[in-house]
Chain A
Amino acid sequence: MNEIVLDKNVSSFQIRKILKGDAVANVITLIAGLVVWEILARWMNSVFIPTPSSVWSATIALIKNGDVDGYTLAAHIKTSLMRIVAGFGLAVALGVPLGLLMGLYPAIYRKSRILLEPIRFIPPIAWIPMAIVLLVGFQRYVFLIWLGGFFPIWINTLVGVGRVNQVHMNVAKVFGAAKFTRIRRVVIPSVMPDILSGMRVGLGMCWMCIVAAEMIGGEAVGVGRLILKYAELLLLPPVVSGMLIIGVVGFFMNEIILVIEKKLFKWRWEVSL
């Protein structure tokens, strides 16, 4: 047969080549970013503008000696991460099944959207006072993080179900597949990419919420609290340190989702964005 086939080895080789090229470019970008930061900081020449080196030593100090209350950076990260994992986990555990349910039975969504849609537009930060009144400690943080993560995951799943290719559904129907089988073998695999992208957006929202919640919540530990502590003291290097920590931890969590995506979606070689 005179047909052109994408050779598997060639394509994975090309992907590897692209990734390798990207890694080098990213290191250069990172260094360039630091240089620009250093130049800007020196040019502005203000005690309030931290330089990369002052942030670096503040970070080392936070790791070694802890903050003004004695909490180390590791303790802050650990506390925030646990809250994120719980809240984000709950958002996935509720967002995916509810999105699937309402996607499969759009009548449920149509008849409840008057309640759901307005809630979606209330920023989780606006819930903080209510959360303080209603909940305490860990639960409060989990609730606020869940609020941030739930809606993107739910909406993405819901919309994804609506976009399932009808031809694929018909293939299963012609083979006599029962509804549950069609969901398992056609709907869920089709919607998986949407779920994963909802998770990535949701994760970003979760970090936004945790920092706000920790800033307002009373406990002395958590990355958001760390930032606020030093902001009140007008000590900017540890503040930037806290900011960067959030960025780096968020980045790695996102990378984990990307790795899962690549494992799950070998069939979609464009997913690596």
Chain B
Amino acid sequence: MAEREKIHISRMDKCFGDFKVLNELDFTVAENEFLCVTGPSGCGKTVFLEIVAGLSSPTRGGITMDGEPIDPKKHSIGFVFQQPSCFPWQTLWDDVKFGLDMKGINGEEADTKIRKAIELVGLTGFENYYPHQLSGGMKQRVAIARAFVIDPDLLLLDEPFGHLDAQTRYFMQIEILRIWEQMKKTIIFVTNNIEEAVLLGDRVIVLSSLPASIRDEIPVKVQRPRDPTDGEFLSIRKRITELYEVGK
């Protein structure tokens, strides 16, 4: 794996008035790394990701991508939101096209990219469907295709499978790994599901409860495809669970 530093988060604090949510987060993400961030629910994971995406700014500290302060207008960032985020007034095709429109890519080039992205998430044939005609898992795959189609430098996923049933979730986890292995992107994947974090990540950052600070960084060296019943897998999982409990 390439060790070139892609994202650098330096001593980042976030406060809402007197209410401190993030406390001195400081870490780097390597190029093409699959980083999972986990922590107890309500610990500010979404706030953290929104800052990385440039949707809100940190109170102190900063974040750079390739050495420059991160900016959605300059950098190419893909974001898959926790909540359903497909535009209800657009067909699947137009929804995936949205990001390319924003980047000013159109015509034949755009069509090829859209077709490829839809194929990647296995939705070929559904191009003219509206979100209300799709299941929850399919909508989330549309959101993933939409984030991937712009060929982002950084992909942020905020508990993207949180609303899905266990079976769909399992398929989606396999799928996101397949897409990542195929396209090689830097990914920050936020989840409160420890097993998911260990299953997917090259490394897992465990956050404490509020105000969130880094409790530990755990590299996951288990060979992919990972078996959740494998001894090493279970020991990492146990270690993270214990870190959760320390926080209580």
Contacts and interface: CB of A to CB of B under 8 A. Distances in A.
Contact of A168 (B87, B103, B135, B137): B87
Interface residues of B, number: 39
A173 B55 contact: yes
Contacts of B122: 1
Nearest to A266: B130
A91 to B, nearest CB: 24
Contacts of A266: 130
Q: Secondary structure at chain B's binding surface: helix, strand, loop or mixed? A: loop
Contacts of A126: none
Given A5-B126, A174-B79, A176-B72, A189 B134 contact: no
B133 A176 contact: no
A267 B129 CA distance: 9
B54 interface: yes
B37 interface: no
Interface in B187-236: none
A175 B138 CA distance: 21
A267 B171 CA distance: 28
Contacts of B88: 267-268
A6 interface: yes
Contacts of B90: 189, 267
Contact of A5 (B73, B83, B85, B134): B134
Interface string A180-194: 010001100110100
B72 A267 contact: no
Contacts of B98: 171-172, 175, 185
A167 B78 CA distance: 14
Contacts, number: 85
A174 B77 contact: yes
A168 B133 contact: no
A8 interface: yes
Interface in A190-248: 190, 192
B72 A174 contact: yes
A189 B89 CA distance: 7
A171 B103 CA distance: 13
A3 B142 CA distance: 14
Given A6-B132, A170-B81, A186 B99 contact: no
Given A174-B79, A176-B72, A189-B89, A269 B132 contact: yes
A60 to B, nearest CB: 47
Contacts of A177: 102
B131 interface: yes
A188 to B, nearest CB: 10
B83 A167 contact: yes
A5 B135 contact: yes
A44 interface: no
A115 interface: no
B81 to A, nearest CB: 5
A269 B85 CA distance: 19
Given A1-B122, A8-B133, A168 B85 contact: yes
The 5 nearest A-B residue pairs measured at CB: A175-B102, A174-B79, A176-B73, A267-B130, A3-B135
